[in-house]
Amino acid sequence: MEEIKELENMAKRVRRGIIQAVYSNKSGHPGGSLSIADILTVLYFKELNIDEKNPKWENRDRLVLSKGHCSPVLYSCLANRGFFDISELDKFRNIDGMLQGHPDMVKIPGVDMTSGSLGQGLSVSNGMALAGKLDKKDYRVYCIMGDGEIEEGQVWESAMAASHYKLDNLCVIIDNNNLQIDGEINKVMNSYPIDEKFRSFGFQVIHIDGHNIDEIIKAFEVAKEIKGKPTCIIAKTIKGKGISFMENQVQWHGKAPNEEQFEQAMKELEE
């Protein structure tokens, strides 16, 4: 299908932007950015009802990147979508640039929520979704969380509230790459079974391969049809996906490539 091929190619462009940003200032978080690149590509180039010429459009869909340290993937999507010039990626985490290490809704066009303190994104997303219902708006809210992040207790208070208020305009996506900064999540603080937990809190749960564009598209289509409850999409992903030496390697959680690694990564993404 032509659309899927186009999205796969865009995902490669998004991944190149991630590596360019992290390499440019020799800091950042490539691993978890690469693992959600396919999901955010589908969101920003197919699913989200947004307008790059009017970033604050009140009827737009909202996206909250709760795992805010993975800002490179968000910035790469926004730049490729046209919210700002792609050259800004070269100034990532630079005092002369606007792209901070964590998303800033005040300074960066297209960012719906300042994030970075892990565990808070679902609470904010609940507020956005509830406001939409109270204002009789038909926008949707998407919240991206890490599987390590859901070890935060606030996540489960928020999950309880989302179900209580029947926020069927809310879609949570869990980036289930099984790695966090200190290692495998089941060894650091086991949060499995993730699906049963969210079901017990009243969510509709969908499992997908987080790197299969077709599955991602279909999951979002199903989520829009769910009524009376929020949806949780659990995406099985690979940390560092798309770059051979980064895949499933926990040390690439927050590490920049050197020149040789940068060149290899960009070559792999061109192929």
Domain of residue 191, CATH code: 3.40.50.970
Give pLDDT tens digits for 123-157.
999 999 999 999 999 999 999 999 999 999 999 99
Q: What residue type is assigned to position 184 of the chain? A: E
Which residue in the block uniquely carries the two structure tokens 């002369």? 96
What does the pLDDT read at residue 5?
96
What does the pLDDT read at residue 271?
66
Contact 247/238 with Cβ under 8 angstroms? yes
Full domain range(s) for residue 175: 2-270
Greatest pairwise CA separation for the chain in angstroms = 53
Mean pLDDT over 221-249 rounds to: 98
Give pLDDT tens digits for 180-231.
999 999 999 999 999 999 999 999 999 999 999 999 999 999 999 999 999 9
- Say yes or no to pLDDT of 50 above 80: yes
What does the pLDDT read at residue 76?
98
Q: What confidence category does residue 170 fall into, taking pLDDT thresholds of 50, 70 and 90?
A: very high
The DSSP code sequence of 133-150 is HHTT----EEEEEETTGG
Between residues 271 and 120, which one has the greater pLDDT?
120
Give pLDDT tens digits for 10-32.
999 999 999 999 999 999 999 99
Which of 49, 45, 115, 46 shows the shortest CA–CA distance to 82? 45
Contact 233/38 with Cβ under 8 angstroms? no
Which of 104, 75, 111 shows the shortest CA–CA distance to 91? 75
Report the chain's terminal Cα–Cα distance, integer Å: 20
Between residues 1 and 243, which one has the greater pLDDT?
243
In degrees, to the nearest 5, what angle opens at C-alpha 119 toward C-alphas 114 and 123? 70
Q: What confidence category does residue 1 fall into, taking pLDDT thresholds of 50, 70 and 90?
A: confident
Give pLDDT tens digits for 64-117.
999 999 999 999 999 999 999 999 999 999 999 999 999 999 999 999 999 999
Domain count, the chain: 1
